[in-house]
Amino acid sequence: MASVKPVLKWAGGKSQILHEIVPRLPSDFNHYHEPFFGGGAVFFDLQPPNGTINDLNSRLMNFYRQVRDNHEELIETNKKHQREIDELDDEATEEYYYDKRDEFNSLRQHGLCENEVLEASLLLFLNRTCFNGLYRENQSGKYNVPFGRRTSPDVVREERIRAAHDALQNTDIRNQDFTYVKHVVGEKDAVYFDPPYKPVSETANFDDYLAGGFGADKQRKLRDLAVDLHEKGVYVTISNSPPARQLYEEDDVPDAFEVESITANRSINRNGDDRTGAKEIIVTNVPQHMRQGTLSSFGQEDDA
Ligand SMILES: C[S@@+](CC[C@H](N)C(=O)[O-])C[C@H]1O[C@@H](n2cnc3c(N)ncnc32)[C@H](O)[C@@H]1O
């Protein structure tokens, strides 16, 4: 099965470390759930036959709904944006960007979107032309990332959209808090949690994805949910930053949970001593003999 690449670039995207995460998922499971979807690098690599994906970002989940249900119309709308920017010089492209950003921000009132295909197309357009492929909202929920000056961006991504469309066919797409998952999981389901990371320092701000945030209380709630799911016989795998390790090493966490430190390229230890240089941790209750192990198709390219 050919690997599918994410359509959107997303902060915290996992394309670079798929080779660390996927082997720690179970090789056999019933349904797959990904409650903090973002760019969905793990889901697209795995292409599970069914399950749920979710993110609190409404515009993001509308995007995947359009990819699943209206991809031809989405591709046509993207092509219109491509034709328009291909005619413009740099200065005019920047002006066009800010016009489209205003249009994007005007489409949603009180959570309701007046043109879902257009919003999805504009989300992709902004993702491809903004500064660094960031998604950031101000306090009133307006997308506010500045223009990013890229030469000849492909704002259509036709092949990726077609592949993602196929991968999403039997997937339930949700837009709720991550805790929805406790109501939909069953025994031997697999859940991959990739929350906004626990800050490395008091001042580092890792919860900027949405107006709102993901503080210490939610990190603990996620840990408690992981323990509940474990007790229901669910396979749980979680990515986080090194400061989250202590939460998963507290006494009330079952021994079945292993915490492993990884760098971008290799696993440096298990349950470890020398954690210098660790960039992330992966927590999982999947027993060694049930894991996917090493697979071959991991893309090393970035999410762009
Ligand atoms: C680290 S990112 C996910 C990255 C993703 N795995 C990828 O490969 O691109 C975290 C995501 O969690 C979402 N999020 C934040 N708080 C949430 C919550 N309470 N429930 C569900 N999703 C949430 C953010 O919108 C963001 O897209």
Domain extent listing, the chain: 15-56+176-290, 63-161
CATH classification (class only), 63-161: mainly alpha
Spatial CA neighbour of 24 closest among 294, 278, 304, 303: 294
Give the closest residue (by CA) to ligand 1 atom 18.
177
16, 33, 34, 36, best to mutate for ligand 1 pocket (most atoms within 8 Å of CB): 36
Spatial CA neighbour of 168 closest among 31, 72, 69, 75: 69
Cα–Cα distance between 137 and 155 in angstroms, integer? 21
pLDDT, the chain, mean: 90
Q: How far is the CA of 199 from the centre of ligand 1 (A)?
A: 15
Cα–Cα distance between 282 and 280 in angstroms, integer? 7
Give the closest residue (by CA) to ligand 1 atom 8.
13
DSSP secondary structure string, 124-148?
A: HHHHHHBGGG---B-TTS-B-PPB-
Choice among 60-64, 195-199, 255-259, 279-283 with the minimum mean pLDDT: 195-199
Residues with CB under 6 A from ligand 1: 10, 12-14, 35-36, 38-41, 54-57, 177-178, 194-196, 209-210, 214
Choice among 151-155, 207-211, 250-254 with the minimum mean pLDDT: 207-211
Q: How far is the CA of 88 from the centre of ligand 1 (A)?
A: 34
42, 55, 220, best to mutate for ligand 1 pocket (most atoms within 8 Å of CB): 55
What's the pLDDT score for residue 201?
Answer: 63
CATH no., domain 15-56+176-290: 3.40.50.150
- pLDDT tens track for 29-63: 999 999 999 999 999 999 999 999 999 999 999 99
At residue 154, what is the residue type? D
Instruction: Please tell me the pTM assigned to this model.
Output: 0.91
Give the closest residue (by CA) to ligand 1 atom 7.
13
What is the largest distance, in Å, between two alpha-carbon atoms of the chain? 62
**How, if at all, do strands 267-270 and 32-34 pair?**
unpaired
Spatial CA neighbour of 249 closest among 226, 278, 274, 217: 226
Spatial CA neighbour of 136 closest among 8, 10, 13: 10
Domains 15-56+176-290 and 63-161 share a fold: no
Is pLDDT at 208 greater than 70 in this prediction? no
* CB of 150 closer than 8 Å to CB of 128: yes
For residue 5, report the phi and psi dihedrals to the nearest 5 degrees: -95, 150
Residue with tokens 């009133």: 140
Is pLDDT at 198 greater than 90 in this prediction? no
Q: Which residues pair with 137 in a beta bridge?
A: 143
Q: What is the dihedral of CA 218, 221, 226, 229, to 10 degrees?
A: -130
Q: How far is the CA of 98 from the centre of ligand 1 (A)?
A: 26
- pLDDT tens track for 8-22: 999 999 999 999 999
Q: How far is the CA of 214 from the centre of ligand 1 (A)?
A: 9
Q: How far is the CA of 36 from the centre of ligand 1 (A)?
A: 4
Find the mean pLDDT for residues 189-213: 70
Rg of the chain on CA atoms, in Å = 19
